[in-house]
Amino acid sequence: MEYYTWILTFHVVAFMSWMAMLFYLPRLFVYHVENIDKKEYVEIVKIQEFKIYKYIGAPAMWATILSGITMLTLNPVLLNFSVNPWMYAKLSALLLLIIYSFSLEKYRKELNHDICKKSGKFFRMYNEMPTMLAILIVGYVITKSFSLIFTSIIIILFAYISYVIMKPKKVK
């Protein structure tokens, strides 16, 4: 346990680095699809997409996962559901964040091969998902509790934000 706080520090920094990629890569996707007719610009964005995912995002995700597993191994009471039900909510949100991260790689590859059919509007909406999941994860960790009300409010808020982003604009 002597090194636990150092592992926790590494875990938080790795999580922050991973989140930086999760916040920025979908924004690059927006620029990519909305400027598809500008070949030179798109080629530069493709390089940025590759580098942020492969050199920052993926390593930071694995560092977050491995340091988290290490902390759970050193402090297994965290997995005691009757004492820490919030941990299961956190791990559930984390699983969704991992799936989201892999989906970004799927979209990156599709964009790289010019076969992605998603719109800039879709990627603007999709860019909201890691924010929602990060709020849930941080909320559970800070409060050391699971609140169905908190979780529901965050999900409803982000569903509304997604609806506003995706709804068709009124023609005047």
Q: Which residues are documented as binding site for heme?
A: 11, 90
Contact 109, 146 (CB under 8 A): no
CA distances in angstroms from 104 to 13, 37, 69, 85, listed in the order given: 21, 22, 23, 29
Q: How far apart are CA 132 and CA 97, in angstroms?
A: 10
Q: Which residues are annotated as a binding site?
A: 11, 90
Which of 4, 12, 1, 37 has its CA nearest to residue 142?
12
Q: How far apart are CA 26 and CA 33, in angstroms?
A: 11
Q: How far apart are CA 162 and CA 146, in angstroms?
A: 24
3-state class (DSSP) for residue 81: coil
Say which residues have a Cβ less than 8 Å from residue 116's Cβ, sequence separation at least 6.
33, 107, 110
